[in-house]
Amino acid sequence: MREADYYEKLEGDVVHCLLCPQDCRIRPGKVGFCRVRRNQDGVLVAVKYGRVASYAMDPVEKKPLYHFHPGTYIFSLGAYGCNLRCRHCQNWELSQGDGEDVPFPPERAVETAAAWSDPQRPCIGLAYTYSEPLVWFEYVLDTARLARERGLKNVLVTNGYVREEPLKDLLSYVDAMNVDVKSFSTEFYREVCSGRLEPVLRTVETAHAAGCHVEVTCLIIPGLNDGDDQVERLSEWLAGISPEIPLHLSRYFPNWKMTRPETPVQTLRRARDIAARHLSYVYIGNAWEVDAADTACPSCGAVLVSRRGFSARRMELEGRKCRRCGRGVNIRDR
Ligand code: SF4
């Protein structure tokens, strides 16, 4: 536990957290909406600093990041807590729960990533993931700083719900992000996630403008965000930033408070076809029966990276170009 960054003290020992747009004013002894930032005698503390609830060496494709060092591993870690409350959360035991976690100081996290030695599948760095790393801000920042000093990469897998100033701090050290844009509807964000759409869009725009590698994921939920117009508007907006940003359309399964049935495969295919009119790289996730994980050259169609499950093989990719036609490809690689 350590004193939080980004807050101000108000009258009567109340604190105002300035980390995310939930804008919590927290009375002594209470926690904010994310449940992991507590007012302790008029001081805001980051409760989960140095505590890790889940960790694993994962393929980078699992984040999902398809255009960032394909075929490598990344040491992935996460803690309890989240600043949204999505009714369909696919990871609610961590995001909404609290239970066992272990001490994991930044030095230990960085050492674990650095010590990995497998020449066939090297570890490129650390991914802050599984629940919401933004509410773990101080730990992520301290660890990312150390990791950068060791020449390791930092990846955020995030809902993007953060204020601009702390985001800019993180962007000094974060090399890649997968941002969940849960829908292109303000009502959806309000009613399903207890948040707002606009700050999430701003995070994607700011991260891309800062030179961070960005990929976007949208979990397609039948009847809620699978309308053609929503997919179209999301894709148009993303293409307006850059048509080269990869979009992952992911299949929803019933979870936590949402019971509606899983997304039909034909819905995902239709959404992919709409998005592909605007974007160069559109993938379908969480649906192994659909063959939509390979990266193809947008100009000549050559398979650049072939994927089966979470393993990836470079095919016609040469550096950051298609070997066959020479087109540049938005892939960051060794
Ligand atoms: S980070 Fe947590 S405490 Fe701070 S404003 Fe967001 S939800 Fe509230």
Distance 34 CA to ligand 1 centre (A): 6
Distance 127 CA to ligand 1 centre (A): 21
Residue ranges of the chain assigned to CATH 3.20.20.70: 51-293
134 lines ligand 1 (CB under 6 A): no
Exposure of 13 by Cβ count < 10 A (0-12 exposed, 13-18 middle, 19+ buried)? middle
CATH architecture of 51-293: Alpha-Beta Barrel (3.20)
**Backbone dihedral angles phi then psi of residue 293, each to the nearest 5 degrees:** -115, -15
Residue 4 Cβ < 6 Å to ligand 1: no
Residue 23 CA: nearest ligand 1 atom is 5
Instruction: Please state the three-class secondary structure of 46-57 as a single string.
Output: ECCCCEECEEEE
Residue minimizing CA distance to atom 4 of ligand 1: 17
Q: Could you tell me the two tokens for 4?
A: 């939080």
Any ligand 1 atom below 6 A from CB of 32:
yes
Task: Answer whether 0.95 is exceeded by the pTM.
Answer: yes
Q: Which residues make beta-bridge pairs with 56?
A: 76
- Identify the bridge partners of residue 73 per DSSP, sorted by sequence position: 59, 123
Instruction: Choose one of 30, 33, 49 to mutate for the ligand 1 pocket test, by most ligand atoms within 8 angstroms of C-beta.
Output: 33
Q: What is the pLDDT along the chain (334 residues), one digit of tens a residue?
A: 899 999 999 999 999 999 999 999 999 999 999 999 999 999 999 999 999 999 999 999 999 999 999 999 999 999 999 999 999 999 999 999 988 999 999 999 999 999 998 888 899 999 999 999 999 999 999 999 999 999 999 999 999 999 999 999 999 999 999 999 999 999 999 999 999 999 999 999 999 999 999 999 999 999 999 999 999 999 999 999 999 999 999 999 999 999 999 999 999 999 999 999 999 999 999 998 787 899 999 999 999 999 998 889 999 999 999 999 999 999 998 7
